[in-house]
Chains A and B, each alone.
Chain A
Amino acid sequence: MNATIASPPTAGAPPALRVEKLRKTFGDHTVLRDISFELAQGEILGVIGPSGGGKTTLLRCLNLLEEPDSGALSYFGDLRVSVGSNDAPKSLPEETRTLVRRQVGLVFQNFNLWDERTVLENLTLGPTVVQRIAREHASAAAIELCDQFGLARYLSHRVWQLSGGQKQRVAIMRALIMNPRLLLLDEVTSALDPMLAAEVLNSIRDLRRQGRTMIVVTHHMEFASSLCDRLMFLDQGAIVQLDTPGSLKANPRTDTVKRFLEILRSTN
């Protein structure tokens, strides 16, 4: 890996995430090829690249919603998952998956909320079922979060009654209420018009101020440059470039990166 880590926020601590030779195929289509990188604690990594490049699949593999074909993942230095090597089990045990998912929150591109349930139910189901937190405590936490995200009035609305921007914030809150050590956000603004996107992006900036470790897939170059410590350019399942936003823009390594950045500049 020849990318440099730009001033890791908590140097000395074990990395939040270490990915080694992560491979994922669907049938005979290789979607991720030997992805390796490290993420420092408190760091925010942006993932950009053409669609179909494997960004969503990468996030789903990190949360183990997709099981990688091979590779090793290590979270916060203490939780190691290895697949595809000789001594590794054929399929990951449920214990491992749930352990990882409790530390790694994932916000889906299309919200994936439970539409016919209320905002409050969407937020409290995780804490009450997974962490076995008493309903009153879970509700209190949900109310506090909704206050922060400007959705206090909507607690008892059903999700299908909300606007896209409100839904996306509920989706972010649903992951946040589990207090994940690492938060993965998949194109959280692509389904939204610019006004709504701005609301959501502001919410994510607040998360940065709280020092959360995040991986953010996005097409908003402005946002990515100002928010992220480093940017990863993913194309055809491989990391083409992993750099600070400044150097990525100044020295795009390949023509693809260069053209992609130009297109983003002209459309944003």
Chain B
Amino acid sequence: MNYDWNFSRLAPYTRAFASGTATTLTLTFWVVVLGTIVGVGLGLVLRRRAAIYAMYPIIDVIRAIPPLVLLLFFYFLLSRNVIGRTVDAYWVCVIGLSLNLAAFVADLVRAAVANVPASVIDAGLALGMRRHQVTRHVVLPHVARELLPSLTALYIGMLKLSSLASIINVRDVVYAAQTVIADISRSLEAWVIVGVIYVVLVLPATYGARRLERWSRRGSERRSA
């Protein structure tokens, strides 16, 4: 290999990478929180037939648009020219990616809610629970358990998708790498570091998700035994 690796030149950028990592994490956090809340809400609304006709086209369209395009669209939509004021790129990114996540979560939740056995619901009703109490205390916990593996996979995907944020100048970990490259032209080292950071963030989440999945699968195997 002829390339002269030199990571020490990147030392002055440690802080930039650290704050970029922090941004990546908080960004993902907000996307996951907002995307889940909106997605679950939509998923519950989608139980009604009228809502299915009204909402599904919108959800399908959002799911069809590549996240990068969605981000750029919102970046130019939420600007001074169009709405009279600028929205911070960080929040543009939160909005765009949350919307993407919400569309996927809504579809998952709708399907899972539709598949909750009537017996599970009847048990709550028979005790005198109101509809909304059954939804909150019986249906949602059941659905959450069923969806845990798919949701964690989506969340991990969001962590990786957040790397698109640098396109609209959010100072995430990818943006830090671009700074290094512009300053000292050490591309390979910069991308190795970014790659390592993502691996360190994603691997524990993946292992956690796998354990969670095994745990919930064991429950259902015994149940059907």
Interface residues of A, Cβ cutoff 8 Å to B: 63, 65, 94, 97-99, 101-102, 105-106, 108, 110, 112-117, 125-126, 129-130, 158, 160-161, 174-175, 178
CB neighbours (8 Å) of A158 from chain B are 219
Whole-angstrom CA separation of A116 from B126 in the bound complex? 19
- Do B130 and A98 have beta carbons less than 8 Å apart? yes
Total A-B residue pairs with C-beta atoms closer than 8 Å? Answer: 67
Q: Among B40-48, B53-61, B131-139, which stretch is in contact with chain A?
A: B131-139
For residue A103, which residue of chain B has the nearest CB? Answer: B128
- Do A101 and B123 have beta carbons less than 8 Å apart? no
- Do B125 and A101 have beta carbons less than 8 Å apart? yes
Whole-angstrom distance between the Cβ of B181 and the nearest chain A Cβ: 50
With A63-B126, A101-B125 given, can you name 10 additional A-B contacts, CB distance below 8 Å?
Answer: A98-B128, A98-B129, A99-B128, A101-B128, A108-B122, A112-B123, A158-B219, A160-B222, A175-B127, A178-B128
Which B residues between 106 and 158 are near A, CB-CB below 8 angstroms?
Answer: 119-120, 122-131, 133, 137-138, 141-142, 145
Interface residues of B, Cβ cutoff 8 Å to A: 119-120, 122-131, 133, 137-138, 141-142, 145, 219, 222-223
Whole-angstrom CA separation of A110 from B122 in the bound complex? 12
- Do B219 and A130 have beta carbons less than 8 Å apart? no
Question: What would 14 A/B residue contacts be, using CB atoms closer than 8 Å?
Answer: A65-B122, A98-B129, A105-B126, A106-B126, A108-B123, A112-B119, A114-B123, A115-B219, A115-B223, A129-B133, A130-B127, A130-B128, A130-B129, A161-B222
- Do B133 and A130 have beta carbons less than 8 Å apart? yes
- Do A116 and B128 have beta carbons less than 8 Å apart? no
CB neighbours (8 Å) of B223 from chain A are 115-116, 160
Whole-angstrom CA separation of A114 from B128 in the bound complex? 16
- Do B219 and A126 have beta carbons less than 8 Å apart? no
For residue A178, which residue of chain B has the nearest CB? Answer: B127
Whole-angstrom CA separation of A114 from B123 in the bound complex? 8
Whole-angstrom CA separation of A259 from B223 in the bound complex? 38
CB neighbours (8 Å) of A94 from chain B are 130-131
- Do A116 and B145 have beta carbons less than 8 Å apart? yes
Whole-angstrom CA separation of A130 from B138 in the bound complex? 12
Whole-angstrom distance between the Cβ of A95 and the nearest chain B Cβ: 9
CB neighbours (8 Å) of B126 from chain A are 63, 65, 101, 105-106, 108, 112, 175
Whole-angstrom CA separation of A94 from B120 in the bound complex? 19
